[in-house]
Structure 1
Amino acid sequence: MNVAVVGANGFLGKSLVKFLLKKNIDVSAFSRKPIGLNCNWLEYTISSISDLSCFKEYDFVFYCAACGVQSKSNTNIIEITEVNLLFPIRLSSFLRNTKVRLVTFGSYFEIGDSDSNKEWIEEEIIYSRNSFTGNYILTKKAFSYFNYISKSTIHFILPTIYGEYEDENRIIPYLINNLKNGLEVHVSKGEQIRQYIYVNDLIFCLWSVLNEPIENNVYNAPYAETFKIKDIIYMIACHFRSKQLVKIKGEFKDNSMKILKIKSSEIFLKHNFNFIKLNDNLDVYFN
């Protein structure tokens, strides 16, 4: 089997490459910079790939590239739209009548501003008319809609994933690093409710269903646990026995998204997957 991972230097992409290498699968990693893993690395930027025929040689192409995820990034709407929407549409159109299975990803942030305590199914997410903030969500939601209508890729809508290669500004590594080093921690009140899954558990689930008959469509990925953000803050502080003061400061862009929950697709529910719990897995950030 021959697999390509586009955006292999990101959190999900790098975790996926590492998983596939452990299974002795031939992996080509497309990214801007080398990823530090023993695989075939190809320098990649959206502008550098004008000839898409290089992707025809693979059995699977995982499109993990994303732009504008972090609110502090300096990317503009043109680059965000190209990476999150236009390029994957071109790639999916190019690969439509080939043997290649293209796998892409959305986010349950596409639900938008919500305080509804329910698990959303795929169609409800696609047609949600809730408001939201940011070009990242706008472009990801547009691509999910494109896939729902065109059935061009195997498209997974993800809950919150966590693990070793996370950006240091995300909530879990931010808390761990600051509390461990005695630095101030600034957080919201933490009333937001989120679903979490360890990235390696997620990838195992995805790979399991991808090796079964599966049609191009939009599928909600599984989740392991549901938390209020403040419960995660308390959990991490207890784990590291930190006495560092946690300060409630400012509003965060996702505060209006009070409750985000997805209902796992039936393709996952028919399996008896076992998921590691977050509280038992915090030490992965130091391995």
Structure 2
Amino acid sequence: MKALLTGGAGFIGGNLARELVALGYEVVALGRRACPVAGVKSIEAARLDPETLRRAMSAEHFDFVFHLAAAGVHPADRNREELIRVNATLPAEVVSAARDAGVSSVVLMGSSAEYAGPQTGLLTEDMLLESGKIYGASKAAGGLLALATAAECGLPVAVLRAFNVFGPGEAEHRLLPSLVANLTRGEAVSLSLGTQIRDFVYVDDACNGLIAAATALSGSRMRSGAYNLSTGIGVSVADFARTVARRMNADDGLLRFGALPLRPDDLPEVVGDPSSLQSAAMWRANCSLEEGVTEALRRIGLD
């Protein structure tokens, strides 16, 4: 089996490439930077655009396409034109190119930011989508256009709206690496109150969900659509931080809750209902928060 992967140099993409290689897939990563995973063939392109996608897909036959490339992953990156081009427009081009290249199925990485807030209870795929924030709105638009293109051309496609994925390989500004860096040095960690409830998904579980969706789509066991890549379990940011400190045997007094203000747009609760993906792809998150943090720290080298 052969898979084309965009975003393979990123956090989830790199972990997905590693998992695919371990399962025996041939993996070709297309992106601006080379995928660092051994055994992956990298095609570097200065810009991901329709022509580049079609050229890569026509060069060899792929069974699956995993489209994880996105703009605006870093909160400071809010260039409107690039967000619209990469997040809103490009996914439909990926689907169209995959159909023309004879790909069996396409899985696109969506985001929990696609849901408008605040909404109470578990978020289901039919809830109101974001229209007031450019990142979430651009991701939502991209997913909708990709699914409409899939329906038009008859290609099985799934958009997996990932919630708070964590694990080895995260960017330095994110919660887990920030905690690890400071606690390793015995330094205080400035945090918000930590009352925000989030749905933390260990990255290996997320990758297994992506692969399960691609397989179920190509086997006609799963319908095209948007699905939550989530656990359904809400955990406070404070409890996540305390779990990391405990597993590192660090002094939790270094966790300075309330030292940072809550962001004005920080929603009090974002937890996804995973039941649709569970029933369609026979997938569920296997790692508890404790297990995920423990495994992440082991792979970072802090066991």
Question: What TM-score does the superposition give when structure 1 sets the normalisation length?
Answer: 0.87
1:170 to partner: Cα distance: 0.9
User: What does residue range 1-287 of structure 1 map to in structure 2 within 5 Å?
Assistant: 1-38=1-38, 39-47=40-48, 50-51=51-52, 52-56=54-58, 57-73=61-77, 76-96=79-99, 98-100=101-103, 101-114=105-118, 116=120, 118-124=121-127, 127-128=128-129, 132-133=132-133, 135-151=134-150, 153-212=157-216, 213=220, 214-223=222-231, 225-240=233-248, 241-242=250-251, 243-253=253-263, 256-269=266-279, 271=282, 273=284, 275-283=286-294, 284-285=296-297, 286-287=300-301
Q: Distance in 1 between matches of 2:166 and 2:228?
A: 17
1:17 to partner: Cα distance: 0.4
Give the alignment's Cα RMSD to 1 decimal. Answer: 2.5
Q: Does the CA contact (< 8 Å) of 1:194 and 1:226 recur in 2?
A: yes
Q: Does the CA contact (< 8 Å) of 1:46 and 1:87 recur in 2?
A: no
Q: Secondary structure of 1:5's match?
A: strand
Q: Secondary structure of 1:174's match?
A: helix
1:275 to partner: Cα distance: 1.1
Q: Which amino acid aligns with 1:211?
A: T
Q: Partner residue of 2:154?
A: none
Unaligned runs of 5+ in 1: none
CA displacement 1:139-160 (0-9 Å, x = unmatched): 1121123245444532111111
Q: Does the CA contact (< 8 Å) of 2:9 and 2:34 recur in 1?
A: yes
Q: How many matched pairs?
A: 281
CA displacement 1:54-102 (0-9 Å, x = unmatched): 21421111111111111234x6222222221222222222333553122
Q: Does the CA contact (< 8 Å) of 2:67 and 2:94 recur in 1?
A: no
Unaligned runs of 5+ in 2: 152-156
- Evaluate the alpha carbon distance shift between residue 158 and residue 272 of structure 1 in structure 2; reply closer, same or farther with a 3 A threshold: closer
Q: Which runs of 4+ in 1 moved over 6 A?
A: none
Q: Does the CA contact (< 8 Å) of 1:196 and 1:223 recur in 2?
A: yes
Q: Distance in 2 between matches of 1:11 and 1:218?
A: 22
Q: Distance in 2 between matches of 1:35 and 1:123?
A: 35
Moved more, 178-187 or 269-278: 269-278
Question: What TM-score does the superposition give when structure 2 sets the normalisation length?
Answer: 0.83
